[in-house]
Amino acid sequence: MPTDPLLLQERHALILQRLQTDGRVLAPDLAQWLQVSEDTIRRDLRDLAAAGLCQKVYGGALRMALPAAPGGTPAQRRSAQSDRKSRLAAAAAPRVAPGSVVFIDAGSTNLAIAQALGEHRLTVITNAPAVAAALVDKPLIELIVIGGRIHAETGASIGATALRELELISPDLYILGACGVDAQAGVSAIHFEEAEFKRRVAALSKAVLVATTSDKVGTAAPYAVLAAASLTELVAEHDIDARQFDAFAARGVRVLRAARP
């Protein structure tokens, strides 16, 4: 605990250090720790959020969700952490019921799920060419591709054409690729248009599943997609933070752990 008044930059550095260590900070706790008012802490958190260093939420802040490989291509991101994503896919793929209609959007974990789908009849809708390519040779899968211009960073169609084509679908399950996942902040995305597209698919779907690596749990991206309580299932790695596990479960979300390495 500081014994002398701290400069603004010193407070910010300590807040960011705590945020990196704990994943989240609460304004009352920080005020007590740094011996300043909660109003001062709230101003600090607003400043840090405006600088893109955290994501402000009610009562505190979360680590900012970042792209899996800043500056990398979708192909480069798909090759990262492949073993971890394969274990998530093995846990998530059985949640797809035979004969159902499932929407799988972009993301390296979602691609692993598509590759892990069993040999039974399904209708798969996707806006991601990489997912479509993984499924096109599976004879029992009816494949529907949502089109339009491909967004370079996400590797998916998310623009006006894609949104219009969503009017024709009503999936039984939406496998949603998330950038940030938190029991308080919900599911979030880095790009504005991407978040809008995901919100629309979620609204059209009977159930929503997110499979995520641990580095995304307890983080938030700038654009909200779905409240935690609106998520049906969360497939997480075996070491998901117990507080997040309990908080999602308390909101009625079924939380499944992938196998240990």
194-228 pLDDT, tens per residue? 999 999 999 999 999 999 999 999 999 989 999 99
- Please, are residues 68 and 77 in contact by the beta-carbon 8 Å criterion? yes
CB 122 within 8 A of CB 98: yes
Average pLDDT over residues 87-96: 97
pLDDT of residue 3: 46
pLDDT at site 70 = 44
Mean pLDDT of the 102-113 span: 97
Integer Cα distance of 223 and 187 in angstroms:
9
- Burial environment of residue 168 by CB neighbours within 10 A (0 to 12, 13 to 18, 19 or more): exposed
What is the model's pTM?
0.82
Place of tokens 């997609």: 225
> Is 136 exposed, middle or buried (CB count within 10 Å of its CB: 0-12, 13-18, 19+)?
exposed
**54 with 48: CB under 8 angstroms?**
yes
The confidence band for 119, taking pLDDT boundaries of 50, 70 and 90, is confident
23 — pLDDT class (breaks 50, 70, 90):
confident
Q: Are strands 180-182 and 186-189 parallel, antiparallel or unpaired?
A: antiparallel
Q: How far apart are CA 126 and CA 113, in angstroms?
A: 13
Closest alpha carbon to 255 in 234, 240, 227, 226:
234
